[in-house]
Each structure stands twice: as C-alpha cells, then as structure tokens.
Structure 1
Amino acid sequence: MRSRSPDVRTSVEGGGSPIDVERLFHSAQIISGSFDTLDDGLKGRVDKLVSWVNGQIRLGGERKEEVELQLRKLLATRLRLAADRRRIPAIAGEKIERPIFVIGFARTGTTLIHSLLAEDPGARAPLWWHTHDPSPPPGEVPVVPERIEYTGKELDRLIAQTPGLLTMHPYWDKRGHCLIEDEEIFTLDFQNAYPTLLHRLPALAMILEAGSAKEAYGFHRQFLQHLQWNQDPKHWVVKGIYHQFVLKELFEAYPDALCIWPHRDPAEVHPSTMAITAVLYGAITNWQMDFKELGPLFVQGIAQSVAAAVDSPFVDDPRILHVDFRKLTRDPIAIVRKAYGTWGLDYSDAFEGRMKAWLADPANAPDRYGRYRYTMEPYGLTREMIEGAFEGYSRRFKLGKFA
C-alpha cells in the first residue's frame, strides 16, 4: 500500500531462471506445517509480487536463492498466522479500541512521536520481533529472550548490508525490540514489499494500488488481535508513512482511531528522504540505480499523492491532530500532552516521567551514530523544484516560505 512513486528498475543480473511461485508455495507449506486451502487473495498477491520480481530482474545463483529464502520465510510466517487464527478462534474476538496512528511523511518526526507515545504504561506498540516471528501468539506461550534474539540477527544482517543507515535512522539499534512501521505489517500479508522484511530483493519496493487498502487494514486489525490476545488490556500505538494517502479506508477500518500528523517544510524533508532511500536501496541494488534521475521522479510522484491527500475532506477530520515539526522538536512532550488532552486520554505523571527519561537517555540520542549532512545535488533536486511541487501542501500547513 503505497503512494505513487516511480517504477525504477535495476540493471539485469545474470541470466538465471525466474522464481517458481508454485514451488514457493509448496515449500512454505512444508515449513509452516499448514496445508489448508490457500486464501485466493493471498495467493493472488504472492503471484503478483513474484511476477513483479521476475519482471524486474533475472536472478542467478546465490542471489536468487537469497531472494527465494526471504520470500519463503515470509510466506511461511503468513501461513502460520492463519493457522494460529484457526486454531485459537478467540483471537478473532479481540477488540482493538481507540488505536493511535502516527501518520505523515518520513523524516518529519514520526519516529520521535511514536517512541514517546509508546512510553505510556497503558500503551502497546508493534516491535521488530512481532513481524519477524509472530507465531505462536505471545499470549499463548512465554516469549523467551532467545526468540527475540533470533529476530535481532536478521536486523543485524540488514544493517551490515546497508552501511551508513544507522547514522540516518539510529533507532534500529534496538534490534528485536525496535518499533516498526505499519508497512511491515502490510508486507506480512503481501500487501506491500517493505525492505525490512525483503531486503534481499534487488529492486525498489513493489507499488500497490490504494484499492488494496481495505484488505490491508483488515489484515492489520487481525495482526493486532493476534498480538493482543490473552494479554493485559492496553491501547495500541502504531505508525505508518502512507496512512495519510488512504484516510478514508483507515477510518472505515478503525472508526475510533486517533491520528497525529506532523508537518515539516518539504524542502527539508525530501533531501533527507532521498538520502536514506539512496543508502538503503543503493545497498540492496548494489548501487546500480541512478539517484540523480530518481530524485525528480520521486518528488513528482509523491507530490501528486500529497495534492490528493490535502484535497481529501478527511484532512480536517477532528480525529486528526496536526503538528508543526518545529514545535515538535522544541518541546516534544508538550505535543504529546496536547494530544492526550485533545483526545481525552489519561495523562499520568508516570508517563511524563518515562518520556523525560527516554529523551535524556544517550542510547536514544538521534546523533549517537553521528550526523549526516543532507543536500539536494546528488538527487537532481533544487529548492525551487520542491517548493513548486508542494506549494499547495506548504500553503495549507504554513510551511517553508508560507510559515
């Protein structure tokens, strides 16, 4: 579930044979021990992803085996989730009430807000180990440290593959305990192809149409139910960088959802977004992409989706609290306090104390791996180009020259 972005292909690798989707399904069923009739929707999405991968690049030898391994593991995890749901019917009865969604574009402070909201003793947030080893449900058997450590090793492999990534996004150093984005949850159902679960695919993530958003949110709820079953009652705090493009579908799935949406000058956002995109996908594609060509295409595609989002009547929905990035960075706790007051949620001294401790902890400092100097030139961008593309958005939220 993504906004519009360019279909950029990498150069062809070798002359290997395409991935066999039927063989993939058969092996995943054996691994998961789930031999029930496959859901047609899931099968269609897997077919679509494999066809897309086969059309992007011809894989050969070891690289093909690595891609198939990740796809097989992901599919086996999805089949185990379905088997758990059939085996434990009570999971489907779990109520997900008043979840908090941190929405908005990458590099606008969404991770900071998510991290602070997750410090509420009454909150629960999805973690890395949840998407990488969710079965059996945490409410069924004790979650031993080894299970979480096992998933952390996969994050170690991602970081080792993408040097420089921690400088831009240091939060992944929490390994199995790091907070995740909803795009990872959607990827479990093959509604997306997020690199944290599929970083061996040598291409940009697959672009899915917004029409799949209803199904994606349906699975999202199922996944939260899976994690919540037989656990202490708490409200969910989740985060995703594409929710703002499908607000109608989000509120249809979660009518009582509460959203917080930070806004930042696009001329500051997009050099940062392109830099982390280049570091991540450059490593995944062995630096075969032309990021100077990608930059303008990326901005153009995002700008079209932003224009549509700003025109949506849901932008002014009272369930959404809009936040200025400058105010957020000056006093993030004040922003959270305001959000709780707006939403009528209990705001405790213990919660504020935990947020203060989190902010003061050097292990959470945003520059603990150094600072990166963001610039536009390597990506073919100029301030004028970005300001022109996002003029309506900047005017609407008083950003940049409209501040």
Structure 2
Amino acid sequence: MSQAGKTLRIEDLSHPVLTPMQNMARDAMSQVEVDLSEEGILAEAREQTGLEDFGRDDFRERLRVWLQSVAEDEGLAPVGRYAVRRDIVRYAANRLRFEDLWRRHPEIDEVEISAPIIIGGLPRSGTTHLLNLIAADSRLRSLPYWESLEPVPDFREAPAEGGVDPRLQRCREAYAQQVEILPLLRNMHDMAPEHVHEEIELQGLDFASYELEWIATVPRWRDYYLSHDQTAHYAYMKRVLKALQWLRGPDRWILKSPQHMEQLGPLVSTFPDATFILTHRDPVSVIRSAITMLAYGDRIRRHRVDPPAVADYWSERVEMLLRSCVRDREILPKDRSLDVLFHEFMADDIAMVERVYELAGLEMTPAARGELEAHMVANPRGKFGQIEYDLEGDFGVDPSRLRERFAFYFEKFPIEAETSL
C-alpha cells in the first residue's frame, strides 16, 4: 500500500532506539576483524573472480589512501567498517572483470559514447527524479543500480531462477535486507535495484570519486581527491561506459552525479559533445535532507550518532561543490547547457524534460511522453511517505544563518529560498 502523502518524523535521530533487526546487524559484526590491508583486498578480489590482472597499477596509490582514510575513522563501528571493506573488494573485483573483458574484446574501444545527456546538481536538488524520469524514455541507455554495483557480469555464472541476471538477484536480496534494517531510508532516497543510479559508481573501479565521503568520515581522502586532477578517472569511467554499451544498448546515455558540479572541467573534456544539465535548489533544503539521511544511517555504521558533526561536514562540503560550480559554470557550452531551477521543475516535470530534449536535439514523441507519464504515476513524490526535517531541533543549525553562507550561490542563480523549514 502506498504511503504517499504521509509525513513521518524520526524522533530518535540523535539518540537512536535500535530495533531488534538493527541490534542484530550490529551485534553480528561486533567481533569481526576487518582487514584493511591493500594485499588483503586485492587477494580477495582475485579469489572471487579467478582473475589476476588489474591493468595499470596507478590505482594502488589511491587504494592505499582509501584504506588509510577508513582506518583513521575511529567512529566507524565494526559493521560500518565491514561494509566499507566489502565495497572496496567489490570495486577491485569489478576492475578485474572489466580489464579482462577489455583485453578479450579490444573492439570495445571503437564504441562511441555520443551526445550523452549529463545531469549535475546538489544531492536532493531533483537530480535523481530528473534522471529517472528521462531514463523512462526507452530510447536512452541508463545505468540501473544493480548494474552499477556489478557492471561486468561474471560469465561463469548461470542465470538465477526465471532467467534473472544473478547480479539483479543479489541486489534484490540486499535491498530487501536494507529495507528491514533501515526502513526509513527509502523515504528519503530509495535504492531499489531497478532505479537509475550515478555513473560515478563506475569510478570506484579506479578508486576515485567523492563517493567514499558518503559512507565514512575520510578527510584524508577528500583532500587527496580535491588536490588531484580527476580527468584520468573520468576517462576510465568512460571506458567502462563503452563496455556497458557494447554489452547492451541503446547507444545514447542519460547520466547524473552531484560530483560533476566540482568537476566541470574534466566532465567537459571527457564528454565534449554532451548536453549538460545543472539542477539548482536552496542549499539549506539540500543540506537538511542529506544530513538527516546520513545521520539516520549512522545508527548502524557508527559507534554513536553526532548530528552537529554531520551538519558541519556537509555544510562545508556543499559549499565546496557550489563554489566550484559558480567558478566554472561558464566552461559549459552555452548552446548545450541548461540550469534547472528546482521550483520550476517541481511545478511542471514534463515541461522541464521538454526543455532538456529541445536542447539535446531529442524529439518528445507521443511514445516517449507516455513512458514519462507512466513513470510519474508509478513513482509519486513521497511514495513511501515524507520525512519531516528539523535542522534546528536535530542538528542545532539555524536555517537563516546557514542560508547566509550561500549568498554567493543565490547571487549567481535565481533560486527560490524555501523558507518553510
């Protein structure tokens, strides 16, 4: 039964009252020794895949920074440390499979990634909705979550029951477990297996991107990432996209990631013929939503929840993203870039997609319109119920004072301040 329209309040955000399932998840890992050694990670990836060649070994330096950064996060509980390590092993195994596929099929390099539509914008600013709405158009290639987690299949595996891809089956099982352990997560950001995900997941194969910041407190990695040119890692991601397009079409991509806001230079140089869409929303609304989601997840992955610390980190991080965007916005080609204001997008979703299509030279056919409208009917806003946010009560943050921090952003873009906070 749909919970659309229902408003929920997380009353125990600062001092969680754990459910039996949450206690079970934490207790199960409480005595587990988590090996964060470089060789331990790579050995497990080799064992999982039966493969040996990781390709160029420059990734090892970044892997070591990842591992050192995670080891330095003393607040990460054993279950959180285990989950991060599992992700890192998965990236290493994915790299092995990708490099193996590329070696066996060098013709993949001839695949063209032509005129993609690429969305950038703050988390919680409409990027996911716009991505999934456009991805409902079957003429476009997108990256479903299950495929992003394991982009290259293990060709030794047989299909699951009913011919289901075993990668999809694993993702469905993990999603069901996640809903049991953290049921309110999907009210804020549903990670259903078939939803369309961010392509920077593919940069994980090169041990790059800002994604590690979302699952651990890793200032060492953040500083390393921000001090290094990311062009090579965008190029690696593009190689993976070529392989995915070679494995199955269509051949025009719809892509999205908030990270692009601070990497517009590498993004444009990697995808010079793309149509670039930037979403914009009141940063205060963005931050209150993102940090509530993160603090809720921290009841599992961290020893204790520290809402003010989460607010401080992500207020600063959002400012970094926005200052980079304001600085570099003019890098984007004027005839192939569009700024999408959140209030305009929410007022008429389909009309905004029509503007995107016009810019991208893509016709809005009756069939495409029908697919988009069907997606909206099946996925109403707040499908599982909406979370009531309280910046001041939960995080000790005054919304008006926080908004003052982003005056430079409001001066650049005609964003509406969402004052009913």
TM-score for the superposition, normalised by structure 1: 0.84
1:183 matches 2:200: yes
1:217 matches 2:228: no
Aligned to 2:164: 145
Task: Summarize the Cα distance change of 1:192–1:348 in structure 2 as closer, same or farther, 3 Å threshold.
Answer: same
Q: CA deviation at 1:269?
A: 2.0
Aligned-partner Cα distance in 1 for 2:57–2:42: 13
- SS of 1:101's equivalent in the other structure is strand
* CA deviation string 1:234-280 (max 9, x = no partner): 31001101101111110000001111112112232221122122223
Task: Summarize the Cα distance change of 1:399–1:160 in structure 2 as closer, same or farther, 3 Å threshold.
Answer: same
1:290 matches 2:310: no
Q: CA deviation at 1:209?
A: 2.0
Aligned-partner Cα distance in 1 for 2:418–2:247: 50
Aligned-partner Cα distance in 1 for 2:313–2:343: 28
Task: Summarize the Cα distance change of 1:87–1:368 in structure 2 as closer, same or farther, 3 Å threshold.
Answer: same
1:336 matches 2:353: yes
Q: What is the percentage of aligned positions where both structures have the same residue?
A: 23
Q: CA deviation at 1:217?
A: 0.7
Equivalent of residue 26 in structure 1, options 43, 66, 69: 43
Task: Summarize the Cα distance change of 1:315–1:155 in structure 2 as closer, same or farther, 3 Å threshold.
Answer: farther
8 Å Cα contact 1:309-1:315 kept in structure 2: no
Aligned to 2:109: 92
Aligned to 2:322: 306
Aligned to 2:289: 272
The one-letter code of the counterpart of 1:370 is: G
Q: CA deviation at 1:55?
A: 2.2
- SS of 1:56's equivalent in the other structure is coil
Task: Summarize the Cα distance change of 1:224–1:307 in structure 2 as closer, same or farther, 3 Å threshold.
Answer: same
- SS of 1:124's equivalent in the other structure is coil
Q: Which moved more, 1:36-45 or 1:343-352?
A: 36-45
8 Å Cα contact 2:36-2:67 kept in structure 1: yes
Instruction: Count matched residues.
Output: 381
Aligned-partner Cα distance in 2 for 1:156–1:180: 18
Q: Which moved more, 1:67-76 or 1:251-260?
A: 67-76
Equivalent of residue 143 in structure 2, options 114, 126, 129: 126
8 Å Cα contact 1:162-1:284 kept in structure 2: no
The one-letter code of the counterpart of 2:321 is: S
Aligned to 1:7: none
Q: CA deviation at 1:212?
A: 4.2
Q: CA deviation at 1:289?
A: 3.6
Aligned to 2:272: 255
8 Å Cα contact 2:142-2:255 kept in structure 1: yes
Task: Summarize the Cα distance change of 1:97–1:137 in structure 2 as closer, same or farther, 3 Å threshold.
Answer: farther
**Structure 2: gaps (5+ residues):** 1-29
Task: Summarize the Cα distance change of 1:17–1:281 in structure 2 as closer, same or farther, 3 Å threshold.
Answer: closer
**Structure 1: gaps (5+ residues):** 1-12
Aligned-partner Cα distance in 1 for 2:86–2:413: 44
Aligned-partner Cα distance in 2 for 1:266–1:62: 31
Aligned-partner Cα distance in 1 for 2:88–2:178: 15
The one-letter code of the counterpart of 1:340 is: Y
1:317 matches 2:336: no
Report matched runs for 1:155-174 at 5 Å.
155-170=175-190, 172-173=191-192
Aligned-partner Cα distance in 2 for 1:313–1:262: 12
* CA deviation string 1:273-310 (max 9, x = no partner): 22122223443224x24111331342133214312320
Aligned-partner Cα distance in 2 for 1:14–1:191: 30
The one-letter code of the counterpart of 2:96 is: L
Aligned-partner Cα distance in 2 for 1:160–1:48: 33
- SS of 2:386's equivalent in the other structure is coil
Aligned-partner Cα distance in 2 for 1:210–1:78: 24
- SS of 1:280's equivalent in the other structure is helix
8 Å Cα contact 2:308-2:396 kept in structure 1: yes
Task: Summarize the Cα distance change of 1:16–1:29 in structure 2 as closer, same or farther, 3 Å threshold.
Answer: closer
TM-score for the superposition, normalised by structure 2: 0.81
* CA deviation string 1:18-71 (max 9, x = no partner): 622213212322322222365222222222211222222398988766554443
Equivalent of residue 56 in structure 2, options 23, 30, 39: 39
Aligned-partner Cα distance in 1 for 2:273–2:292: 36
- SS of 2:113's equivalent in the other structure is coil
Task: Summarize the Cα distance change of 1:67–1:265 in structure 2 as closer, same or farther, 3 Å threshold.
Answer: closer
Task: Summarize the Cα distance change of 1:402–1:41 in structure 2 as closer, same or farther, 3 Å threshold.
Answer: same
Task: Summarize the Cα distance change of 1:33–1:275 in structure 2 as closer, same or farther, 3 Å threshold.
Answer: same
8 Å Cα contact 1:161-1:284 kept in structure 2: no
8 Å Cα contact 1:204-1:281 kept in structure 2: no
Q: CA deviation at 1:353?
A: 1.0
Aligned-partner Cα distance in 1 for 2:83–2:309: 28
1:71 matches 2:77: no
Aligned-partner Cα distance in 2 for 1:185–1:58: 27
* CA deviation string 1:209-244 (max 9, x = no partner): 262421221121011111110534431001101101
Aligned to 1:357: 374
The one-letter code of the counterpart of 1:273 is: A
Aligned to 1:154: 174
